[in-house]
Amino acid sequence: MSETLGPLMEVARIQSEINRLFDNLLDLRGEEGTGGAWLPNADILETDEHLIVKVELPGVDPSDLGVSVHGGDIIISGEKRPPRLGEAARMHAAERAFGPFRRVIHLGVPVNTRQAVAEIGSGLLRIAFPKVPNRRGEEVPIEVNVV
């Protein structure tokens, strides 16, 4: 852990893992019998101008992918289809996860969702949201007049 990131970064990582576990439990309960729901890994980065979400989606066809925003959450869903084996092929080991997935990520920063740009390549989905000034929750000074 880099000293420049500090303990807050570690707390954010732990919170992300807890959220991921709960999302996974809810998805598995809601999709019993589907043959193995899985949850893709995600990173969230913030620059001065953008909030960037990166999600690992190796083997997911872009036509099987859906990305939307609802409130302050981004919803990434789709399906990773298993490979087709020829009649003469037999599987000796199967460690990769396949099946439907749904990942909900809370953005936590005011962003312009209508100007988001999403790209997918080499198994990585990248979504960039332009940040907007936070008009809610920011301290607003009130002038006090003497009477």
Nearby residues of 96 by Cβ (< 8 Å), 6 or more positions away: 59
What tens digit of pLDDT does each residue of 115-132 get? 999 999 999 999 999 998
The confidence score (pLDDT) of residue 124 equals 96
Q: What domains are defined for the chain?
A: 6-130 (2.60.40.790)
Residue spans of the chain under pLDDT 70: 1-6, 23-37, 134-140
How far apart are alpha carbons 14 and 20 in whole angstroms? 10
The confidence score (pLDDT) of residue 32 equals 40
Closest CA to 120 of 69, 56, 38, 49: 56
The confidence score (pLDDT) of residue 26 equals 61
In degrees, rounded to 5, the angle at the alpha carbon of residue 146 between the alpha carbons of residues 142 and 147 is 125
The confidence score (pLDDT) of residue 33 equals 36
Alpha helices in the chain (DSSP H): 6-30
The confidence score (pLDDT) of residue 146 equals 78
Q: DSSP secondary-structure letter at 115?
A: G
